[in-house]
Structure 1
Amino acid sequence: MNRIAIVLLVFLSYAAMAQVQLSTKSKKAIEYYTQADNYRVRGQFAQAIELLNQAIDKDDKFVEAYYRLGLVYQNMKNYAEALKNYEKGLSLTTDLRKQKTFWYDMGEAYIATGEYEKAMRVLSLFVNNETLNKQKLERAASLFKSAEFAFNNKDNVSAFHQKPLSDTVNCFATQYFPVLTADQQQLIFTRRTSNDPNADEDIVISGKDAQGRWITPVSISRNINSRLNEGTCAISADGRKLIFTSCVGRDGIGSCDLYETRKIGEDWTVPKNLGPNVNSVAWESQPTLSADGRTLYFVSDRRSGLGRRDIWVTSLDENGKWTKAVNAGKPINSVFDEISPFIHVNNKTLYFASNGLPGFGGYDLFFVEKDSAGWSAPKNIGAPINNHDDQFSLFITADGKKGYYSHEENAAGGTRSRIFEMQIPEENQLKYRSNYVRGIVRDKQTRQVLSAKIELINISKNQIESLVESDSVTGEYLMVLTQGADYALYVNKEGYLFKSLHFNYTETFDFKPVVLDVDLEKASIGSRVVLNNIFFDVDKYELKSTSITELKKIIRFLTENPKVRVEIGGHTDNSGAAAYNRSLSEKRALAVYNYLVSNGVDKGRLTPKGYGPDLPIAPNNTEDSRQLNRRIEFKIIK
């Protein structure tokens, strides 16, 4: 549970205990007891503990002093000492009003130490005896569900293999919230150089050497890091858009805001506040980006949420502006806290941490999956990743085989956080895993790199899945391809013919990254492109419905270039009679021609022609090369 929620419930517990008469007659004990609370509310726990122990020395049957001492230790997360004092104080009273107060807080402390059976016992006693405090009843019922879930599932442990990254990465006093690019070549995280929670936060980056080992992290950019805090961040799959948190020293709107920066060549742009559609006068942090960087999930404690901290979502509109953020709603958010979202590059699986859903205690990691009906019910990812400690900050690689997370542990001088890597067993891997295609976009004639738009379209749904741009300095692009769909990929640049590519990921694939450089031809007489997403059945010339995406792409190109006149050429391999093949190729070209004309294209701008096997682009000696020769081409003739 987060510290503010603990303080609120502690206040309610104090208020309940204050309504009953103190169990001691010792004025000195009461004096120490009262003084202790003045230190407790200021977070001066050492002084509070000393005074409460003095009160107990004056009267070792002082029930309320044991209770308050337990609460102080619980605030410090020293649950062993908290329970020792709770159990002692409870043993000294038969007053039901006081017993209920003990039972409630003991339940939470038992969960925090993994003693689930004991937690169920005391929480059950509280629920069966409390009749007035509705808020505490609801929270106790929620805690009981978590204790019951944990007790029933604690032995159901998956064989995750986890280990901390080397000291080369874990070289700071504390490091947390790791994110990676889709190619797993860059690791970005937040670091502090001391255990002081108020110490400066910066964003650092580590790459891999020739042996695949992570190298020493360095500051990500002078434009991003400052002498003030730069915290949790999100990265697009291609590593070229970064959203991060900053709380002071910038042009902020609220207590903590989200900022955006883009990588052009090797340099990051000066960060910009995401503006009032995303940020509010409240606290915004913990961003996560979709693969193409066009959808953003984040955490906010603004008042209009379902709980105190909720997950919110926004996306880029057609003009590249962030839309008004909306609450992610149920079943993701609850009346408690949801934090640390992570949207996998498949854009179908969202991980997050919650302290309001049945789990192993504190914050547990959950995931939901999206389909046409919306998000599924949250599912606990289970042990050993989840346990009675707080878990958050999870990142899963594109192929679903590895996970990265930060784990807090007690160390000399305070709490230390290190980054861990885990191997995910096959039975626990994502339903939809992802691959990627990457390369460089160039001008075919001059070989100059180009900044171009790359669209990924789900052919069966005829809808855009992703939209990215190649780097204006390097020409590099990266597009994520997710299992379970047939894709058309288009590379577009004003003044050039679009490039048409096809990726069938409906079946199982080997996740080997695709390296594909794209050469674009200027839209001039003689330039041509193969239409890789026009489909016919074998020996048929009726257009299949999956061709609609490509046909609409042609219409859009012709609309944007009204003076262009084109030839639609049909081609075949050399199998069978040449005359038959020429007839078939002409009928296929006519099928495309007829669709375009019926959808508003002036027929005077189109010339259909069937070439049969006469103009091969590959040898006809293998099935793969023959497939290349069976094609529809689009050529500018005027």
Structure 2
Amino acid sequence: MNNFFSNRVIISVWVSTFLNLLKKTLLAAMIFIIPEVNAQSAKRLEKLFEDAGQQFANQSYSSAIDISEKIIEKDPSYLDAWLLLADIYQEINNPEKEISALEKAAGLKDIPLVWLRLGNALLSIGKYEEALCSYTGYLEKEKIKPERRREVEMRIESCRFAIDALKNAVEFNPQRLSDSVNSSFDEYWPSLNIDNSRLIFTRLVKEPGKLPQEDFYMSEKIGDDWSRARPIDEINTSDNEGAQCLSADGSVLFFTACNRLDGQGSCDIYYSVMTDEGWSDPAPAGPPLNSSSWEAQPSLSSDGRFIYFSSNRPGGRGGKDIWRAEFAGFGANGKMIWKEPVNLGDSINTPGDETSPFVHAGNKNLYFASDYHIGMGKFDLFMSEIIDDSTFSKPVNLGYPINTFNDEQGLFISADGTTAFFSSPRYNPPDIDIYSFRMDESIRPHPATYAQIKVYDEKTLLPVQA
């Protein structure tokens, strides 16, 4: 018995010793194996991330997204992959997915710049209260330069303005113009003469096998409707024409054309005159109105004295500014002469972009678009009073729902100030059509009065062409 129990004890001790030794051996092996496996996995993920970054640099966005998602599938805490996804979605204009990626990144690490980007993305889709929280959080988290702080503070002001504007909507009930004007193509940038009897607009014609083509079309008012719009063949070319305005009497068309041989460079302003034979051959407005910089989107005052336009020429306040030039008569060659353009100054222009000026027929109100003044986001429409011919009041945002978190540009308002015309894709996306709406009284211009006079030749009794 004693030997039996003694042997059992010896075996038990041996087995216990063997098992302990085996555990130690395995543990020692794992200590060396696990780091090696983790290091190999990290290197594979790092290589994948490099591949994703290269695809992004090559603008192969789908491949970059696929690779980034593979990385996240293997390691959901891979911060750089989430940030890369946010960059990709920002580049391809998918703010919803950009926001999702940024929120994941913010949950992994408290990075101030992520909060700033999150605010920008939320503002871009009209989530004003959430954007306000992100911007406020960013200012609290990081000491930033005064210029950046002011920029973020302005976006906070825009969020607060938008939240209030949504609660205090202005009158806005747009009516689509008939199919005599609108078509299956895009129509935009409506321009009318002072009595609203002649409408000229830009149509983007898309035909199979051809590049999209911007051309001018004209329609005349017949009762309560418009005539079938016809192309202005005397002005249209194989190039693009657009961003036009009509003189008050409808006899002169100013417009924008780019990279033409007779231009000054980039985009320039041209004009054509209505004669008994039709529209004259377009002529460049010439220097100093045109320059080697970008000049576009002209608007002529009803008295013909000033032409307003947008330009990125040197001497401005930001990217694109609004300028105006005074008409100085006609030269010996019959061409128009303009004085040196003048920048409208700090009341109107900002470090951002100001575009699509429209001077109302009363010459007392200027409407324009800006992506910097306090607004709903992106480009909003604003109104300023022309106080003493050269002083402009602080711009007033036209409010919601005229302005939204999308881009709003290009507005024409009737002489009496009650009716506005604009174009938008918001009601029948993605098609852009021309609409009219009744102006809210709070944002109407001073009404303009005008008289239509016909002059006849004393001998022939025939009307004289202006």
TM-score by length of 1: 0.62
The equivalent residue for 1:387 is: 404
Q: Deviations over 1:139-187 (max 9, x none)?
A: 3222111111111222111222112223332214322111111111111
Q: Secondary structure at the match of 1:88?
A: helix
The equivalent residue for 2:213 is: 200
The structure with the largest alpha-carbon Rg is: 2
Question: Cα gap change, 1:58/1:276 in structure 2, threshold over 3 Å: closer, same or farther?
Answer: farther
Question: Following the alignment from structure 2 to structure 1, what is the Cα–Cα distance between the partners of residues 211 and 294?
Answer: 17
Q: Which structure 2 residues correspond to residues 608-619 of structure 1 after superposition, within 5 A?
A: none
Question: Cα gap change, 1:330/1:446 in structure 2, threshold over 3 Å: closer, same or farther?
Answer: same
Q: Deviations over 1:339-368 (max 9, x none)?
A: 111111111100111111111111111110
Q: Select 1:104's aligned residue among 110, 116, 131.
A: 116
Question: Following the alignment from structure 1 to structure 2, what is the Cα–Cα distance between the partners of residues 89 and 420?
Answer: 43
Q: Alpha-carbon deviation of 1:259?
A: 0.8
Q: Secondary structure at the match of 2:85?
A: helix
Question: Cα gap change, 1:347/1:37 in structure 2, threshold over 3 Å: closer, same or farther?
Answer: farther
Q: Alpha-carbon deviation of 1:254?
A: 1.6
Question: Following the alignment from structure 1 to structure 2, what is the Cα–Cα distance between the partners of residues 410 and 52?
Answer: 36
The equivalent residue for 2:444 is: 429
> Are residues 1:178 and 2:195 paired?
no
> Are residues 1:447 and 2:461 paired?
yes
> Are residues 1:299 and 2:314 paired?
no
Further displaced range: 123-132 or 146-155: 123-132
Question: Cα gap change, 1:236/1:313 in structure 2, threshold over 3 Å: closer, same or farther?
Answer: same
Q: Select 1:190's aligned residue among 162, 185, 202.
A: 202
The equivalent residue for 1:86 is: 102
Q: Select 2:163's aligned residue among 116, 126, 151.
A: 151
Q: Secondary structure at the match of 2:363?
A: coil
Question: Comparing both structures, which one devotes a greater share of its residues to strand?
Answer: 1
Q: Select 2:236's aligned residue among 225, 228, 247.
A: 225
The equivalent residue for 1:59 is: 75
Q: Select 1:371's aligned residue among 387, 390, 403.
A: 387
Q: Deviations over 1:258-305 (max 9, x none)?
A: 111111125111111111201121211111111133311111112321
Instruction: Give the gaps of 5 or more residues in structure 2.
Output: 1-39, 331-335
> Are residues 1:129 and 2:141 paired?
yes
Q: Alpha-carbon deviation of 1:441?
A: 0.1
The equivalent residue for 2:322 is: 311
Amino acid at match of 1:422: F
Question: Cα gap change, 1:261/1:158 in structure 2, threshold over 3 Å: closer, same or farther?
Answer: same
The equivalent residue for 1:337 is: 353
Question: Following the alignment from structure 1 to structure 2, what is the Cα–Cα distance between the partners of residues 135 and 39?
Answer: 34
> Are residues 1:289 and 2:300 paired?
yes
Question: Following the alignment from structure 2 to structure 1, what is the Cα–Cα distance between the partners of residues 94 and 260?
Answer: 35
Amino acid at match of 1:276: P
Question: Cα gap change, 1:48/1:343 in structure 2, threshold over 3 Å: closer, same or farther?
Answer: farther
> Are residues 1:277 and 2:293 paired?
no
Q: Deviations over 1:513-562 (max 9, x none)?
A: xxxxxxxxxxxxxxxxxxxxxxxxxxxxxxxxxxxxxxxxxxxxxxxxxx
**8 Å Cα contact 1:172/1:193 also seen in 2:** no
Question: Following the alignment from structure 1 to structure 2, what is the Cα–Cα distance between the partners of residues 308 and 422?
Answer: 31
Further displaced range: 154-163 or 75-84: 75-84
Question: Following the alignment from structure 2 to structure 1, what is the Cα–Cα distance between the partners of residues 71 and 398?
Answer: 45
Q: Deviations over 1:193-223 (max 9, x none)?
A: 23999722111112223x3212322212x23
- Structure with higher RCO (Cα < 8 A, 6+ apart): 2
Instruction: Give the gaps of 5 or more residues in structure 1.
Output: 1-23, 451-470, 473-638
Question: Cα gap change, 1:75/1:194 in structure 2, threshold over 3 Å: closer, same or farther?
Answer: farther
The equivalent residue for 1:353 is: 369
**8 Å Cα contact 1:362/1:388 also seen in 2:** yes
Question: Cα gap change, 1:193/1:443 in structure 2, threshold over 3 Å: closer, same or farther?
Answer: closer
Q: Alpha-carbon deviation of 1:416?
A: 3.1
**8 Å Cα contact 1:346/1:398 also seen in 2:** yes
**8 Å Cα contact 2:383/2:443 also seen in 1:** no
Question: Following the alignment from structure 1 to structure 2, what is the Cα–Cα distance between the partners of residues 33 and 321?
Answer: 60
Aligned-residue RMSD, C-alpha:
2.5
Q: Which structure 2 residues correspond to residues 318-329 of structure 1 after superposition, within 5 A?
A: 318-319=329-330, 320-329=336-345
Q: Alpha-carbon deviation of 1:137?
A: 3.1
Amino acid at match of 1:129: K
Question: Cα gap change, 1:318/1:137 in structure 2, threshold over 3 Å: closer, same or farther?
Answer: same
Q: Secondary structure at the match of 2:227?
A: coil
Amino acid at match of 1:117: E
Further displaced range: 356-365 or 44-53: 44-53
**8 Å Cα contact 1:26/1:58 also seen in 2:** no
Question: Following the alignment from structure 1 to structure 2, what is the Cα–Cα distance between the partners of residues 243 and 251?
Answer: 16
Q: Deviations over 1:466-492 (max 9, x none)?
A: xxxxx25xxxxxxxxxxxxxxxxxxxx
Q: Identity across aligned pairs (percent)?
A: 33
Q: Which structure 2 residues correspond to residues 13-24 of structure 1 after superposition, within 5 A?
A: none
TM-score by length of 2: 0.84
Q: Deviations over 1:553-607 (max 9, x none)?
A: xxxxxxxxxxxxxxxxxxxxxxxxxxxxxxxxxxxxxxxxxxxxxxxxxxxxxxx
Q: Secondary structure at the match of 2:83?
A: helix
